[in-house]
Structure 1
Amino acid sequence: MCTIFNRTIYDVVYQLQQEAPHPRRVTCTCEVENRPKYYGREYHGMISREEADHLLSVAEGSYLIRESQRQPGTYTLALRFGNQTRNFRLYYDGKHFVGEKRFESIHDLVTDGLITLYIETKAAEYIAKMTINPIYEHVGYTTLNREPALKKPAPVTRDTPDGKEPHGDDSGLEQRLTSLVRRATLKENDRAPKYEKVHNFKVHTFRGPHWCEYCANFMWGLIAQGVKCADCGLNVHKQCSKMVPNDCKPDLKHVKKVYSCDLTTLVKAHNSKRPMVVDMCIREIESRGLKSEGLYRVSGFSDLIEDVKLSFDRDGEKADISVNVYEDINIITGALKLYFRDLPIPVITYDAYPRFIEAAKLAEPDERLEALHEALKLLPPAHYETLKYLMAHLKR
């Protein structure tokens, strides 16, 4: 682990980012007609590639913007890197971009581009090997699933022959590995089902230096340096996200709502077999509504049903749906029906649904039962447990 932590601090990629060329704007000294309002003095109008190359020969990192001679009305970012001029088609939609990343200013775009070009040139082989020995296998969720969880967070220590803390200032290390430590010390609930869940990765901009929680290498660039799981907060390189196993453990601080939340995400976040909405609503319905006529047929007031939804989204398990607040039981049944309608993936998933339909068409009872049994196997655990509980409730 010591070598991994050292690599995290003295990262090759981090050092290369520090060494990358700095942007040098080549200013146009004359007035240019029809200059787009979103470009500044770096805009040189319709000049040729040869003229741009001559202007940029002053230094690495020099850049300018020109209008294309071949396609008037389109713009090119000309950038000096590696002793040659590189030309990129430039776009603007409120922000400047040449690829996926969008920037507030041309200066930021060029800075990020120079960093990326420099790192990809100097460390291509290193980057290709970053995922070979990931720190994730030692400190990630795989450790949690294999070893008993600690009751209290343990201090981060490096491996040393005598087990003592090494000398030196390691405060930066602890700060950078905060999320890794958090993962390594999360309490595992033995009662919680081992539901497999893919990570919900979104492109993310990290403020300040950040390290990948999969490979422990620096995440380079100014913006959109990597991806972050919206459900559990895991931060990794975009290329590393393809290697992370389907072991997402949603954290309540990341899961902001109950309704419209993926069913598996919700149950994992609450360490339960089923969504607490289903359990709480069904308990309330069975305690005071089983003899009500038209229990799931009669609709409650829509504004009060929406109020129940907002209460669950805001208060979670502390939501009050008792008779003291909602006397009409049809409001609770309406809230339960709304929960199922709002699921992004239905209880009977899109993959399993055709199998259920095929099973229902079978005339022979034993064959139909066997086909239904096979169809149920296609449901994720959270969906299966929810359907099982709901069917038992409807039978009652």
Structure 2
Amino acid sequence: MPSEQEATLQSVWKPELYRMQLEAPTPKSVPCTEFIPDQCETLFEGYEYHGLITHIQAVQLLDTEPEGAYLVRRSSSANGQFYTLSLKFNNKIHHYKLYYENGKGFYVREKRYETVRQLVADGLVTMYLELKVPTLLQRLDTAVNYQESPYMTLNKRKLKILSKHSTKAANKTTITTSPTKRGDGQNNRPPIISVPTPAPTIGGFPYGSGGEITPTEPLALFEKPHAFRVNTFKGLNWCELCGNFLWGFTQQGVKCEDCGFIAHVKCSNSVPADCVPDLKKLRGVFGIDLTNVLASRKATLPFVIVKCVAEIEARGLTCEGIYRLSGFADEIEALKMALDTDGEHADLSESSYSNINVVAGALKLYLRLLPVPLITFSAHPSMIQATRRKQLPDQLNGIRDSLTLLPTAHYHTLQYLLEHLQRVSQHQAINKMSAHNLATVFAPTLIGPPHMAATGDNMAASQYNNGPPDISSDIFLIELLITHCMKIFQ
């Protein structure tokens, strides 16, 4: 008897396309029997290249050959820009422009092949499927119930394991939505996290996920799109969305670089943004995309920031020049390595790092190394425009609307960090770090280097090339965010 796993596999695996591929014609080159002065022996195999012959001559050569027969010729109208592939399929002779790019091989459309034979073999399979099952191919990206897909069926155990740790937070944390109305009438404010009994040392936010996620629900707490890339699969592979075979011999489909989800190119358009990156693929946390880190750890906030903020608020709020003064570079690097290696268990206590500026430096380094700044390139121009309004209420409303352009992970992390910086500024009489001083320190860190900050065009880059950029507008923006964060995020 088949095992439970085998029985499940049989219920989701749809082998019709695989059987159909086995029935497709196989390529058969028609060799040229005459000497051709311009024959490109380094490009073509089996004397399949016939040189400069006419369309009619190609048809005559292929007419008596079996299905899948092909030859390559040069057309007088090509001007050396391409070859012509003549192929017999479905009792008809088809002609295609065949291109060759040095180092990338042959191609007719978007795929690349080392040899013409590989191209023809792959093309015959696709043509055969399009002839025999056109309706099925057209329905691949529409007739799919994601909740009953092979991915959700076969990965229930994986989904349970990944979401198991969140059950402890179920009674403490809830995810609710508090939409903010924009001028266009859309309600798309990211969900607000509310905690009945906030912990003052971390700004009222837990850094675990909220509530258990059942295996039949999208797993990711944050909506993270899959990082699909065209991939060539070896052996039998099938789409994790529709269950159908990935036909062809090369570049049969796409695979998510973060979680490994496999799908047809068309089916990938229907996969929801619920990527759960594999922790094994993430080396540390510094320099890793924020949404990737939080989705893989099922967290609402990055633990690096949470731990650093907690330590700074415990013993650094009254330290003069906090965030402005730098700790020793080698100690900051040591702390970075500890956080990358030990994760949440890294020791940030005074006994390990007596200089609190080392902890502050590690926090700034984490933000500085984010591939996409906390205030993203897409949201930055809109926020700057909001600061140029004349009245303060209009400025705050504009910033609030602009924040909806941030990914959910960036939105909550920014809110958490700004509330912390506001608490730091409340001790400015002792630590000498006003909201303006903090903004001066954090503007390049939160927005990115001035020459990279998005402005909707190349203005920032051109200004940078003409001399030191003016970041006064960025400093003013961060100062507003720190001073009025409670109003902006309320």
Q: TM-score, normalised by structure 1?
A: 0.77
CA separation of 1:352 and 1:275: change in aligned 2, threshold 3 A: same
Whether 2:375 is the aligned partner of 1:336: answer no
Aligned CA distance change for structure 1 residues 237 and 139 (closer, same or farther; 3 Å): closer
Structure 1 residue 24, shift from structure 2 partner: 0.8
Does 384-393 or 290-299 show the bigger shift? Answer: 290-299
Alignment partners' CA distance in 2, 1:211 and 1:50: 41
Residue identity opposite 2:235 in structure 1? G
Root-mean-square deviation (CA), in Å? 3.4
* Equivalent of residue 38 in structure 1, options 17, 37, 43: 43
Give the equivalent residue in structure 1 for 2:125.
115
Deviation at 1:347, TM superposition (A): 1.6
Match of 1:216, SS?
Answer: coil
Residues 134 and 216 in structure 1, CA contact (< 8 A), matched pair in contact too: no
Partner of 1:125: 135
Match of 1:213 in 2: 240
Instruction: Give me the whole-angstrom Cα distance separating, in 1, the residues matched to 2:234 and 2:125.
Output: 16
Aligned to 2:147: 137
SS of equivalent to 1:240:
helix
Deviations 1:27-76 (A, max 9, x none): 22333223332222222222222222222231111122222221242322
2-side partners of 1:373 and 1:45: how far apart? 67
Match of 1:102 among 109, 112, 120: 112
| Counterpart residue identity of residue 12, structure 1 | E
2:72 equivalent to 1:65: yes
Q: Match for residue 92 of structure 2?
A: 84
Superposed displacement of residue 233, structure 1: 1.8
Deviates more, 1:114-123 or 1:83-92: 83-92
Cross-structure match for 1:197: 224
The alignment's TM-score, normalised by the length of structure 2, stands at 0.64
- Show the counterpart of 1:262: 289
**Residue of 20, 24, 31 corresponding to 2:24:** 20
Distance 1:69 1:327, change over 3 A: farther
- Residue 239 of structure 1 corresponds to 266
Q: Matched residues in 1 for 2:343 and 2:333: separation?
A: 15
For 1:56, the aligned partner's letter is L
Structure 1, 60-69 or 109-118: larger mean CA deviation: 60-69
Give the counterpart of 1:49 among 40, 55, 59: 55
Distance, in Å, in 2 between the alignment partners of 1:316 and 1:42 is: 59
Q: Given the alignment, which residue of 281, 290, 305 partners 1:278?
A: 305
Q: Secondary structure of the equivalent of 1:44?
A: strand
Distance of 1:223 and 1:258 partners within structure 2: 34
| Matches of 1:324 and 1:43, distance apart in 2 | 76
C-alpha contact 2:13 2:243 (8 A) present in aligned 1: no
Q: Distance in 2 between matches of 1:358 and 1:245?
A: 32
Q: For residues 130 and 7 of structure 2, what CA distance do their matches in structure 1 show?
A: 24
Q: Does 1:356 align with 2:356?
A: no
Q: Which runs of 5+ in 1 are unaligned?
A: 144-155, 157-176
Contact 2:149 2:243 in 1 (8 A): no
Q: CA deviation at 1:231?
A: 2.1
Asked if structure 2 preserves the Cα contact closer than 8 Å seen for 1:136 and 1:213, the reply is no
Q: How far apart, in 2, do the equivalents of 1:304 and 1:84 lie?
A: 73
Of 79-88 and 334-343, the range deviating more from structure 2: 334-343
Structure 1 residues 26 and 139, CA gap change in structure 2 (3 angstroms):
closer
CA distance in 2, matches of 1:303, 1:52: 71
Quick one: distance in 2 between partners of 1:392 and 1:88?
63
User: Which residues of structure 2 form unaligned runs of 5+?
Assistant: 1-5, 168-207, 211-220, 425-490
Q: CA deviation at 1:393?
A: 2.9
Aligned-partner Cα distance in 2 for 1:134–1:184: 20
Q: How many residues align?
A: 360
Q: Percent identity?
A: 42
Residues 266 and 275, structure 1, Cα contact 8 Å, conserved in 2: yes
Query: CA, structure 1 residues 124+371, in 2 after alignment: closer, same or farther (shift >3 Å)?
Result: same
Cα offsets for 1:238-284 (capped at 9, x unmatched): 11111122222222134456344332221111111122332344445
Answering whether residue 83 of structure 2 is matched by residue 75 of structure 1, we say: yes
Matches within 5 A, 1:242-321: 242-256=269-283, 258-286=285-313, 290=317, 294-299=321-326, 316-317=343-344
